[in-house]
Amino acid sequence: MNFIKVGKENSGSIDLYYEDHGLGNPVVLIHGWPLSGASWEKQVPALIKAGYRVITYDRRGFGQSGKPASGYDYDTLAEDLNQILVTLDLRDVALVGFSMGGGEVARYIGAHGTGRVCKAVFMAAIPPFLLKTSDNPAGVEGNVFEGIKQALVTDRPAFLSSFFSNFYNIDVLGGKRISEEVVRLSWNVAAGASPIGTLDCVQSWLTDFRDDLKRLDVPTLVVHGDADRIVPLNASGKRLPEFVKNCRVAVVEGAPHGLNWTHAEEVNQELLTFLGMVG
């Protein structure tokens, strides 16, 4: 098993689990909350087949990575991503961030620039700024996030069940584009995550990435479903072109938040077309 050490906590090390497959230009896939790198199951084979080197990793606190009691802010998470890129000496990288993973892409570029990055993809992602404020009226009301945190504290496993119902829009797509088994698999992965990390990450979603995005000077793709109940399209993906010059938005009709599974064919086509473009 492959691990990269990114820190220490008391007597133990903080290690990130990663997988590194295929040959060609590197693509780093950054998963969403509260899943792991395994959530890219529908994308990894397609990317390898198309001739890319594909790196996935589990965010600290999730999947097979270490589960420390701290470090769930985006400055730390972006530094974890930087350690992946530096340790593996990845250059001309395409960074693909799903949901919360889009925050790592934005903050990494805000902190480190695009010296190692050739393209960026925000998939159902939380940037530019998810919280509604006086200067961000398109955001989501703060009490929504407080409700999520309270539900996690009260009964995390029960909250995860309701969360995945809306993650995949099961009432509409269940039995058609998503099976009970896939939902159960997602729940199992999420239930195995750090309870502390799962809770602390909710606060990090309120990070303002608007200044980070202004440093993005590489071709950028946004892929977002117009039926996303978790990260509303109008509060996130549609707004990226306000801050990123060379940005294209691909809206997937009828797709929920977990569109990389339910609409994998459409998502993969958008991704492969974008990655194959020159410049």
Q: Specify the pLDDT at position 234.
A: 95
Give the Cα separation of 142 and 182 in Å (integer): 31
Cα-Cα-Cα-Cα torsion 129, 153, 198, 136, nearest 10 degrees, comes to 0
Annotation says 80 is catalytic: no
Q: Specify the pLDDT at position 277.
A: 84
Q: Specify the pLDDT at position 156.
A: 98
Model confidence band, residue 247 (pLDDT cutoffs 50, 70, 90) = very high
- Angle, in degrees to the nearest 10, between helices 195-204 and 142-167: 120
| Active-site residue identified among 39, 65, 186, 257 | 257
Mean pLDDT for 234-254 is: 96
**Domains in the chain, please, with CATH?**
2-145+192-276 (3.40.50.1820)
β-partners of residue 224 are 251
Mean pLDDT for 206-213 is: 98
| Active-site residue identified among 65, 212, 228, 263 | 228
- Select from 131, 111, 136, 108 the least CA-distant residue to 120: 108
| Active-site residue identified among 36, 39, 65, 99 | 99
Q: Over 70: is that where the pLDDT of 279 sits?
A: no
Annotation says 36 is catalytic: no
Angle at 61 between CA 58 and CA 65, to 5 degrees: 45
Q: What is the pLDDT of residues 14-52, one digit of tens each?
A: 999 999 999 999 999 999 999 999 999 999 999 999 999
Q: What is the pLDDT of residues 54-111, one digit of tens each?
A: 999 999 999 999 999 999 999 999 999 999 999 999 999 999 999 999 999 999 999 9
Cβ contact 118:94 at 8 Å: yes
Q: Over 80: is that where the pLDDT of 278 sits?
A: no
Mean pLDDT for 222-231 is: 98
Annotation says 226 is catalytic: no
Q: Specify the pLDDT at position 127.
A: 98
β-partners of residue 98 are 123
As a whole number of Å, the end-to-end CA separation of the chain is 35
Mean pLDDT for 245-257 is: 97
Q: Specify the pLDDT at position 1.
A: 75
